Amino acid sequence: MSSNLHLTILGCYAAAPGSYKNPTSQVLEIRNNLLLIDCGEGTQVALRRNKIKFARIKHIFISHLHGDHFFGLMGVITTFSLLKRTAPLTIYGPKGIKELILLQLKLTKGFTSYPLHFREITSKEPEVILENEEITVTTIPLKHRIYTNGFYFEEKLGERKLDITACLKLDIDRAYYNKIKQGGDITLDNGTVVKNEQLTFDPSQPKSYAYCSDTAYYEEIVSQIQGATALYHEATFLESHAHLCKPTGHSTAAQAAQIAAMAGVKNLILGHYSVRYGDLQEFIKEATPYFENVHLGDDGKNFTF
Amino acid sequence: MSSNLHLTILGCYAAAPGSYKNPTSQVLEIRNNLLLIDCGEGTQVALRRNKIKFARIKHIFISHLHGDHFFGLMGVITTFSLLKRTAPLTIYGPKGIKELILLQLKLTKGFTSYPLHFREITSKEPEVILENEEITVTTIPLKHRIYTNGFYFEEKLGERKLDITACLKLDIDRAYYNKIKQGGDITLDNGTVVKNEQLTFDPSQPKSYAYCSDTAYYEEIVSQIQGATALYHEATFLESHAHLCKPTGHSTAAQAAQIAAMAGVKNLILGHYSVRYGDLQEFIKEATPYFENVHLGDDGKNFTF
Q: For chain B, first and last CA: distance in Å?
A: 15
The ranges assigned to domains in chain B are: 5-158+204-304, 161-201
Q: What is the pLDDT of residue A158?
A: 83
A-contacting residues in B 231-270 (Cβ below 8 Å): none
Tens digit of each residue's pLDDT (9 = 90 or more) over A48-62 = 999 999 999 999 999
Contacts of B146 in chain A (CB under 8 A): 108-109
Instruction: Determine the pLDDT at residue A19.
Output: 67
* DSSP β-ladder status, B186-187 and B161-162: unpaired
> A202 catalytic, yes or no?
no
Phi/psi class of residue A13: alpha, beta or left (left: φ > 0; alpha: ψ in -120 to 50)?
beta
Percent of all residues in chain B with a pLDDT value above 70, rounded to a whole number = 98
Instruction: Give B13: exposed, middle or buried? Use CB within 10 Å, 0-12, 13-18, 19+.
Output: buried
Write down the catalytic residue from A68, A163, A171, A279: A68
Amino acid code (one letter) for A166: A
Which residues, 6+ apart, have CB-to-CB distance to B52 below 8 Å?
A: B8, B27, B34
Burial class (CB in 10 A: 0-12, 13-18, 19+), B206: middle
Q: What are phi and psi of B110, to 5 degrees?
A: -100, 165
Q: Which of residues 84-123 of B touch A (CB under 8 A)?
A: 94, 96-97, 99-100, 103-104, 106-110
Which residues of A fall within a CB distance of 8 Å from B65? 104, 107-109
Say which of A19, A72, A104 has its CB closest to residue B41: A72
- What's the pLDDT score for residue A278? 85
A45: distance to nearest CA of chain B, Å? 7
Q: How far is B73 from chain A (nearest CA, A)?
A: 9
Domain A5-158+204-304 grouped into CATH 3.30.1490.190: no
CB contact residues (below 8 A), chain A span 117-176, against chain B? 145-146
Asked if pLDDT for residue B202 goes beyond 80, the answer is: yes
The confidence score (pLDDT) of residue A1 equals 41
In this prediction, residue B185 has a pLDDT band, given cuts at 50, 70 and 90, of very high
A249-294 pLDDT tens trace: 999 999 999 999 999 999 999 999 999 998 999 999 999 999 999 9
Do B96 and A78 lie within an 8 Å CB cutoff?
A: no
Q: What is the pLDDT of residues A206-233, one digit of tens each?
A: 999 999 999 999 999 999 999 999 999 9
Q: Which of A18, A67, A99 sits opposite B75 (nearest CB)?
A: A67
Binding site of A for Zn(2+), by residue number, is: 64, 66, 68-69, 144, 214, 272
| Cα–chain center distance at A165 | 37
* CB pair distance less than 8 Å for B44 and A110: no
Candidates B48, B49, B82; nearest CB to A15: B82
In this prediction, residue B278 has a pLDDT band, given cuts at 50, 70 and 90, of: confident
pLDDT surpasses 70 at B99:
yes
- Asked if A155 and A149 count as a contact pair (C-beta separation under 8 A), the reply is no
